[in-house]
Amino acid sequence: MANYKKHKTGWEYRLKYKDPFTKKTREKSERGYRTKPEAEMAAADFLKKVKQGYGMDEDVSLVNYLDMWMTEYKKGTIRKNTFELHQNNIKNHIAPYFQNLMLRELNPEMYQKFLNHLTSKGYSKRTVEIVHGTMHNAMEKAVNLYKLEKNPCIGVEIKGEKKNNEIQFIESKDIPNFLQAAHQYGYIYWIFFKVLIETGIRKGEAAALKWTDIDFKNQTIKIDETLDFTASESKELFGDPKTFRSNRTIRISQSLVNDLKYHANWQNQNKLNLKDLYKHDLNLVLCRNDGNFMPKSSLFNSFERICMRAKLPKLPIHSLRHTCAVLLLESGADMKYVQEQLGHGSIQITSDVYAHISKKIEEQNIARFEEYTKNILNQNLNYGGRSGGTTQFND
């Protein structure tokens, strides 16, 4: 039963209740209500929430909750890189700012000041958005667990302007030169980068390809794993692709089938030569001469040097994925096909990223429009027997 008392600042309710989890008796009070009925309603509302499970962890700090969230709900359920991203956001940004703040004390105004603080420290809008993603995710789970009634991260504004991250890719006219430079640099790099250009798969997906993923008869490649270049143990080497949509089977050209068949024969010769020294257990398609996976540093260094030899600007390896997308669009493929080939989560992502990146696509589109409409829009109008004249119409 609640007790009520009037103060200068308003009515207060004070009550005792039994924690449904610990079974211990606890006390709750709150003041500032204009009338006694308002205080009575607030007390009744609190007891209702107690039965539903809200607010039972009033003594947990935000930092301790985030640690629990990571351990109980994120570890083992998301990719290693994503887990580390959340971990770094908490360690480097969230924990130092909020320190000993209690979870239940976080409110939208306080959280907005935190985001503004990150912006004032010079972090880009994208970086702040990533940190916000961690907090929003964690607080949404707190709501689901009845630890909070509302998510304090909803409705905030992130200041600053997004950088114009122009999509980088190799122009189709420069691809032959790039591949020639790659072949001269080293065959294993040529085949690796050629697969990326022709399929648009991510470098981790390419590095994880096994021969059992290749279907020569049906001309398909199955993508269901990605290679973790930072894995410390062999059992952690292969993981799930980036997203659910990343699990896919894609079609490949007859030309690439021929390249892969040649590559299989070339690799078999290495197996015969190296015998037990070859990493037969990995069964990798795109690998080093001894069958081991391609180190990330080797791929990065070789790609940079090949671009220099091909007299191309400095590009990231990920640009080969964009290059594939541009080639598909230039060849007339629709957005849905490109989305499925690349494994994007939605067609909107594909459309937003690639709709306007190739000048050649724009030129082709206007050329098609002109060809289609030249006999529709360019006719001489003849009103009243006079070409190009005017005619008065009567209503």
What whole-number distance in Å separates Cα of residue 250 and Cα of residue 44?
59
Token pair of 41 as six digits: 């309603």
Does residue 228 form part of some domain?
A: yes
Report yes or no: 50 and 141 within 8 Å, Cβ to Cβ. no
pLDDT score of 144 more than 60: yes
Give the burial string for 141-153 (b: 16+ CB within 10 Å, else e).
Answer: bbeebebbeebbb
Domain assignment of residue 76, given as a range: 62-144
Does residue 243 form part of some domain?
A: yes
Average pLDDT over residues 191-218: 95
Q: What residues contact residue 29 under an 8 Å CB cut-off, 6+ apart?
A: 12, 13, 14, 15
Please tell me whether residues 116 and 257 are part of one structural domain.
no
Which range is least confidently modeled, 21-25, 207-211, 268-272, 288-292?
Answer: 21-25
CATH number at residue 303: 1.10.443.10
What total number of domains does the chain contain?
3
Please tell me whether residues 16 and 109 are part of one structural domain.
no
Please tell me whether residues 276 and 340 are part of one structural domain.
yes
pLDDT score of 391 more than 50: no
pLDDT digits (tens, 9 = 90+) for 82-135: 888 999 999 999 999 999 899 988 999 999 999 999 999 988 888 999 999 999
Please tell me whether residues 193 and 239 are part of one structural domain.
yes
pLDDT score of 256 more than 80: yes
What whole-number distance in Å separates Cα of residue 330 and Cα of residue 358?
8
Does residue 181 form part of some domain?
A: yes
- Tell which wins on pLDDT, 204 or 344: 204
Please tell me whether residues 110 and 134 are part of one structural domain.
yes
Please tell me whether residues 266 and 294 are part of one structural domain.
yes
Please tell me whether residues 261 and 336 are part of one structural domain.
yes
> Residue 347: what pLDDT?
74
**Percentage of residues of the chain with pLDDT beyond 70:** 86
What is the average pLDDT value for the chain, to the nearest integer?
85
Q: What letter does residue 224 receive in the DSSP assignment? A: -
Per-residue pLDDT band at 52 (split at 50, 70, 90): low
Token pair of 51 as six digits: 């039965």
pLDDT score of 159 more than 70: yes
Backbone dihedral angles phi then psi of residue 30, each to the nearest 5 degrees: -160, 140
Does residue 385 form part of some domain?
A: no
pLDDT score of 294 more than 80: yes
Please tell me whether residues 14 and 70 are part of one structural domain.
no
Report yes or no: 7 and 31 within 8 Å, Cβ to Cβ. yes
Average pLDDT over residues 175-186: 97
Q: Is 293 exposed, middle or buried (0-12, 13-18, 19+ CB in 10 A)?
A: buried
Token pair of 200 as six digits: 């648009």
> Residue 372: what pLDDT?
77
Does residue 161 form part of some domain?
A: no
- Tell which wins on pLDDT, 340 or 156: 156
Does residue 395 form part of some domain?
A: no
> Residue 128: what pLDDT?
93
CATH number at residue 107: 1.10.150.130
> Residue 202: what pLDDT?
92
Backbone dihedral angles phi then psi of residue 243, each to the nearest 5 degrees: -135, 175
Does residue 386 form part of some domain?
A: no
Please tell me whether residues 218 and 121 are part of one structural domain.
no
pLDDT score of 350 more than 80: no
Token pair of 54 as six digits: 């809200």
Q: What is the DSSP string of 287-304?
A: --TTSPPPPHHHHHHHHH
Per-residue pLDDT band at 186 (split at 50, 70, 90): very high
Q: What is the DSSP string of 100-164?
A: T-BGGG--HHHHHHHHHHHHHTT--HHHHHHHHHHHHHHHHHHHHTTS-SS-TTTT----S----
- 3-state class of 344 per DSSP? coil
Please tell me whether residues 204 and 323 are part of one structural domain.
yes
Average pLDDT over residues 246-252: 87
- 3-state class of 6 per DSSP? strand
pLDDT score of 246 more than 90: no
Per-residue pLDDT band at 212 (split at 50, 70, 90): very high
Please tell me whether residues 115 and 180 are part of one structural domain.
no
Strand ranges across the sheet with 10-18: 3-7, 10-18, 25-33
pLDDT score of 370 more than 80: no
- Tell which wins on pLDDT, 114 or 330: 114
Average pLDDT over residues 64-79: 90
Please tell me whether residues 199 and 257 are part of one structural domain.
yes
The model scores a pTM over 0.75: no
What whole-number distance in Å separates Cα of residue 59 and Cα of residue 26?
12
> Residue 1: what pLDDT?
75
Report yes or no: 222 and 215 within 8 Å, Cβ to Cβ. yes
pLDDT score of 387 more than 70: no
Does residue 371 form part of some domain?
A: no
* Bridge partners of residue 214, in order along the sequence: 221
Per-residue pLDDT band at 380 (split at 50, 70, 90): low
